[in-house]
Amino acid sequence: MKNKKLFIELARTAVAAGDAIMEIYSGEFNVELKDDNSPLTAADKASHNIIADALSDVLYMNESLPLLSEEGDMPAYELRQNWNRFWLIDPLDGTKEFISRNGEFTVNIALIETGHPKLGIVYLPVKRLLYFGGAGYGTFRTAADDVVLENVLKLPVETGRDRTILTAAGSRSHRSSDFDGWVEAEAARRGCSSIKIITAGSSLKFCLAAEGLVDVYPRFGPTMEWDTAAAHAVVEGAGKQCCCADGSRMLYNKPDMRNGHFIVK
């Protein structure tokens, strides 16, 4: 496994952040509203602090990299545009899922290089599952207790699914008529006789694609770069594509960090 030492460091960091999240998840917690009316909890903050502290000591190509986090300060684009490499993190993706206690939230750490996610870690704290990889690395799944990444499962796994059924991942919070129309058209294009939708929260939907449990994940709702970066790397490592709905490449570290519509397939 290339860059195994780095993946081990990132995996340990994600698990430590997940442990802090679960400690708060198991008790009572308050919910604040950020300026954009999205929810914020103590778990978001605790996870951010752990990851930011850990990554400050991680060297890549013998250099310490800047960090951009959903819960940190947002540097001006005039500064960011000079970043060739940086960490892009979402300390707790799926805060709504965290609040509703359905377990479908993740910790996300990505390394961005020249506008593209080179590698990523997605951690599912409730199930204690790690997904990690990137293009040129492959993608793997392992348990949180496998801190040295020795007992990993390479993804995707052949599931023997019925290929006459198009299986699509859909957002639990942002389903739209655009989604339904695209899935129906894709099923027709592939000659599928029926459609199955699996709904999930956070970047977990990408992980379903990486595992081979769904064929496609079209997204026509709002997302930010930190929502997708780590999981984007994970699906690419599993041999899938994550591209804009028009087929163009998704770019990161844009002046406006909102993503357009995208398709994982």
**Amino acid 38: pLDDT:** 86
36 belongs to an annotated ligand binding site: no
**Amino acid 172: pLDDT:** 82
**Amino acid 15: pLDDT:** 98
H-state helical runs in 26-141: 42-55, 77-80, 95-100
Question: pLDDT tens per residue, the chain (265 residues)?
Answer: 889 999 999 999 999 999 999 999 999 999 988 888 788 899 999 999 999 999 999 999 899 999 999 999 999 999 999 999 999 999 999 999 999 999 999 999 999 999 999 999 999 999 999 999 999 999 999 999 998 999 999 999 977 788 899 999 998 877 788 999 999 999 999 999 999 999 999 999 999 999 999 999 999 999 999 999 999 999 999 999 999 999 999 999 999 999 999 999 9
- What the chain holds in terms of domains, given with CATH numbers, is 4-155 (3.30.540.10), 165-264 (3.40.190.80)
For residue 75, the SS3 value is coil
65 belongs to an annotated ligand binding site: no
Question: Could you tell me the pTM of the whole model?
Answer: 0.96
138-143 and 129-134 strand pairing? antiparallel
70 belongs to an annotated ligand binding site: yes
**How many Cα atoms occupy the beta-carbon half-sphere of 126 within 13 Å?**
14
Does the N-terminal peptide bond of residue 117 adopt cis geometry, omega within 30 degrees of 0?
no
* Eight-class DSSP state of 160: -
**Amino acid 159: pLDDT:** 74
H-state helical runs in 40-192: 42-55, 77-80, 95-100, 177-190
160 belongs to an annotated ligand binding site: no
57 belongs to an annotated ligand binding site: no
Residues 6+ apart with CB under 8 A from 246: none
